[in-house]
Amino acid sequence: MMNWIAVGTLSDIPRRGARCVATPQGKIAVFRTAEDQVFAIEDHCPHKGGPLSQGIVHGAAVTCPLHNWVISLETGKALGADEGAVRTIPVRIEGERLFIALEALASRAA
Amino acid sequence: MTEKLVIIGNGMAPGRMLEHLFEQVPGRYQVTIFNAEPRVNYDRIMLSPVLSGEKAFEEIIIHGDGWYIANGITLYKGHKIVAIDRTAKTVTSDHGVTESYDKLVIATGSVPFIIPVPGHDLPGVLTYRDLDDVQAMLLAAQSRAKAVVIGGGLLGLEAAAGLNSQGMDVTVLHVMPTLMERQLDPAAGYLLQRAVEQRGIKVITKANTQAITGKGKVEQVELADGTIIPATLVVMAVGIRPNAALAKDAGIAVNRGIVVDSGMRSNDPDIYALGECAEVNGQVYGLVAPLYEMARVAASQLAGNEAAAFVHMDTPTKLKVTGIELFSLGDFAEGEDRQEIVLRDAAAGVYKRLVLRDDRIIGTVLYGETADGAWFNDLKKKQTDISEMRDTLIFGQSYQGGASLDPMAAVAALPNDAEICGCNGVCKGKITGAITAKGLTSLDDVRAHTKASASCGSCTGLVEKLMVLTIGDKYNPAAVQPMCGCTTLGHDEVRRLIKAKGLKTIPAVMQELEWTTSCGCAKCRPALNYYLVCDWPDEYADDYQSRFINERVHANIQKDGTYSVVPRMWGGVTNAAELRAIADVVDKFEIPMVKVTGGQRIDMLGIRKEDLPAVWADLGQAGFVSGHAYAKGLRTVKTCVGSDWCRFGTQDSTGFGVRIEKFMWGSWTPAKVKMAVSGCPRNCAEATCKDVGVVCVDSGYEIHFAGAAGLDIKGTEVLGLVKTEDEALEHIVALTQMYREQGRYLERIYKWAKRIGIAEIKRQIMDDGEKRKAYFDRFVFSQRFAQVDPWSERVSGKDKHEFRPMASVGFAQAAE
């Protein structure tokens, strides 16, 4: 069973932007696209660990601020010629409230 | 022995004829050209994009002055020939120049038809024929007032669209019931009218103009039904007629145009005529493709090939209004012996109609989707029997034989003799052949060698696909490297269109310029954001989500995700209080590294993002503001101690450096800008490798620019010497503004200068005081909105979401 934890509201995140959620397993970046889709992934680029939450969000992808890898927010995989992936975290919107599934994260991290 | 060839007229047809002639018999003729227009040969078809602001005149020049010199041509600009003496074999211009000829070519083109209604000669009534007309229209458009275009044909609609995009309130009057009735059937004419009206242009059909009235200038247009339309500008675009008066006066046979045989020769064997003024087999022509064919024939004749002959051809018509796709070819009147195939897609605004006779295409009208125009044209030209593919014919080439809908496959499937460029009559085989034989890799090369896509440019996409098919990855679309994968437009085109179309938001740019992605990418968004900040400083709301993280949080991200902070030290000057404040901040926030930068200031590295606002608050208390060490903007102005301290100093270089920095800080630029001021030619501030540098000398200030000391190493160029500090500041600011307006995003000054030309920059900044002042004023205006310290804004709470996590979760569970 998944345990959904509230982390804030949709309006906390700017469109085409991201905010971080601090967890014992490290930071999770929660993204909001131009069309108000929400995704959560590890805030850690598979390339050199860059903070993806600081990148430019375009479509359903983010460009890492350190070396311009482009990561799909939907799959967590690097797009284009690069290879690598970050973990995606289930996220749900209930009205305005945002929830992420923390156990999924904990169990996978273990 | 060379023969004397005199040409009357300097339009596209004789220009093309000369190209062929010099290729076939170089050196045979000594050429003299009389041009009634005071300029070189330019692409008249592209006047509409000039009117709408999408292109500059320089971009549509076909033969620059250098071409005339290189080919030994004497060009009399602004000379109108007033008489031809066929007995003496001479021509005489209105300025009294008389030249003798062995062969004479008359290429006087056409004159616009003026409806002889009362008031047609009032000031404010224009035609649409040459660059002078376009310039007059652009001038009139500045008033943003009302314009009436008489004529709903190709030219009239292009003029209306151009004036509309220049901000005028435009009404089109058309005497027939539907627009472009000679090229379009009523259904397509209706769709076109709707598209034109959606742009805010009013259309009145069946409009019979009765009079143009006004006191001393145009004030209104009156129609036969009593309608009155106020207007300060009237453009007549109702048609053209061959300009044959000169030939007629000389006793040459003239009917509608100058009568020539299929070898373009008039009834005087030494006199040829070509272009819009010529009449061949009872036909006169106005589209460029047959005129270029005439040019080819005339050149062959002049080269001695008497077999060369002009054959009548149907030419597709395309409307050059951005966003309206329209293609028309051949005969599409209804008749008993004809069948038609029609496809309508109302939602997509698509209408296609093929007119067939005996299972062969004789006419085509495509509206909204014209990609298959080349294929239909090919089928028509070859009189291909289409009975086998009749059911799917209208869906286009890609539907035949179950092939995929890939446009690349469609181009690949075209036969070698399929026409790609209608203007210049270039077929597929000629293009692919030239690419392979000559190893061409850029569009400009293909244009130069084959002429394909070199006139109206509407086949550019096809030519590019051919290049990809022929050489694959080696195709280098260098001439117009697109900004990124989201568009085919280059930086310069995008910048021009932002201004020309008055686009003031990123979504507006993406919508109007047909971006292929929904919200761009990390390459185009920061560029667009900069262009909009630069072009509309007072109106554009900076889009922080389109800035790189450094500019978003006003600090420099480091490899471990922490940040570095560099406060401004004006001109590199500091004092004990400032240094003490920095020391306190370093202690308080346990900043692990403090370093002196190359730009004469202090960098604090390893600051946690969450701490940034607090660090800035403490620095702000001591009077520090952001040093913009992260910005595509003004970074530092490095100085030496100058005349205050140095025994060699000639001017107050420190004071001037501080003054420049205080004047220019906060301004955004295409790439970073680093400056320096040295107090004497010993140049201790290293001003001669900076983006902009000043070397003080006894007699004043030597201004340098376009240096580099990074990826590339390059000494500066000297802009010039000025006497006073005030003048030096004005020149430096104007230079920076010129770069801000023209530079491509991430293009440093030295690269921009190389592209624009050092001489051109000197001309605008050093020699043209008015231009310099205008650049200066625009910079000053823009600074009113730019000089806000981003650190103190954020200390006061702006963008606080950037610096804090949204939530902290899971720690309690982890402790269990």
**The predicted structure's pLDDT at residue B239:** 86
Residues of A in contact with B807 (CB under 8 A): 6-8, 21-22
Domain contains B400: no
> What is the CATH number for B581?
3.90.480.10
Domain contains B798: no
Res B595 pLDDT > 80: yes
Domain contains B352: no
Domain contains B223: yes
Q: What's the CA gap between B160 and B170, in Å, rounded?
A: 6
3-state class (DSSP) for residue B418: coil
Identify the weakest region by mean pLDDT among B18-27, B492-501, B520-529, B563-572.
B492-501
Residues B138-177 as b or e (16 or more Cβ within 10 Å = b)? eebbeeeebbbbbbbbbbbbbbbbbbbbbebbbbbbbbee
DSSP structure class, residue A77: B
> Are B669 and B770 found together in one domain?
yes
> Are B165 and B249 found together in one domain?
no
Q: Would the CB atoms of B808 and A22 count as touching at under 8 Å?
A: yes
**The predicted structure's pLDDT at residue B816:** 36
> Are B137 and B210 found together in one domain?
yes
Identify the weakest region by mean pLDDT among A103-107, B81-85, B372-376, B518-522.
A103-107
**The predicted structure's pLDDT at residue B812:** 55
Res B628 pLDDT > 60: yes
pLDDT in tens, B175-227: 988 898 887 888 788 888 988 998 899 999 999 999 999 998 999 999 999 99
Give strand pairing partners of B673. Answer: B634
> What is the CATH number for B230?
3.50.50.60
Whether B453 contacts B480, CB under 8 Å = no
Task: Domain of residue B728: give its range.
Answer: 634-788
Q: How many CB pairs under 8 A join A and B?
A: 101
Residues with Cβ within 8 Å of residue B135, at least 6 apart in sequence: none
Average pLDDT rounded to a whole number, residues B592-607: 96
**Mean per-residue pLDDT of chain B:** 89
Residue B747 C-alpha, separation from nearest chain A C-alpha, in angstroms: 18
Task: Domain of residue A104: give its range.
Answer: 7-109
Domain contains B702: yes
Q: What's the CA gap between B595 and B606, in Å, rounded?
A: 11
pLDDT in tens, B297-349: 999 999 999 889 998 877 787 777 767 888 888 877 777 788 888 887 766 77
| Whole-structure pTM value | 0.59
Residues of B in contact with A63 (CB under 8 A): 521-522
Q: Is the alpha carbon torsion for B600, B604, B606, B608 positive or negative?
A: negative
Res B53 pLDDT > 70: yes
Residues of A in contact with B560 (CB under 8 A): 49
Chosen from B511, B519, B557, B802 to mutate, greatest number of chain A CBs within 10 A: B519
* Strand spans (E) along B107-242: 110-112, 125-127, 146-150, 169-173, 202-204, 209-213, 220-223, 228-230, 233-236, 240-242
> Are B650 and B625 found together in one domain?
no
**pLDDT level of residue B778 (50, 70, 90 thresholds):** very high
Average pLDDT rounded to a whole number, residues B723-749: 96
Q: What's the CA gap between A12 and A91, in Å, rounded?
A: 15
Res A89 pLDDT > 50: yes
Nearest CA in chain A to B805: A20
3-state class (DSSP) for residue B301: helix
Final residue before a domain boundary, out of B512, B547, B582: B547
Give strand pairing partners of B603. Answer: B595
pLDDT > 90: percent of chain B: 57
> Are B690 and B622 found together in one domain?
no
> Are B194 and B288 found together in one domain?
no
Domain contains A1: no
Q: What's the CA gap between A60 and B807, in Å, rounded?
A: 23
Final residue before a domain boundary, out of B183, B204, B238: B238
Cα-flanking dihedrals φ and ψ of residue A40, to 5°? Answer: -130, 130
Burial of B516 (0-12, 13-18, 19+ CB in 10 A): exposed
**pLDDT level of residue B488 (50, 70, 90 thresholds):** confident
> What is the CATH number for A74?
2.102.10.10
> Are B43 and B101 found together in one domain?
yes
**The predicted structure's pLDDT at residue B579:** 96
**The predicted structure's pLDDT at residue B813:** 47
Identify the weakest region by mean pLDDT among B390-404, B686-700, B766-780.
B390-404
> Are B651 and B784 found together in one domain?
yes
Q: Would the CB atoms of B559 and A65 count as touching at under 8 Å?
A: no
> Are B782 and B653 found together in one domain?
yes
Whether B250 contacts B86, CB under 8 Å = yes
Please count the structural domains in chain B: 5
> Between B516 and B619, whose confidence is greater?
B619
pLDDT > 70: percent of chain B: 97
Nearest CA in chain A to B812: A24
> Are B669 and B768 found together in one domain?
yes
Nearest CA in chain B to A34: B519
Q: State how far the alpha carbon of B427 is from the alpha carbons of B310, B414, B439, B440, B569, in Å.
A: 18, 10, 18, 17, 64
Give strand pairing partners of B279. Answer: B259, B284
- Number of neighbouring beta carbons within 10 Å of residue B349: 16
Radius of gyration of chain B (CA): 32
Please count the structural domains in chain A: 1
3-state class (DSSP) for residue B77: strand
Q: Give which of B644, B646, B637, B643 is closest to B694, Cα–Cα.
A: B637
Q: Would the CB atoms of A59 and B518 count as touching at under 8 Å?
A: yes
Q: What's the CA gap between B339 and B355, in Å, rounded?
A: 6
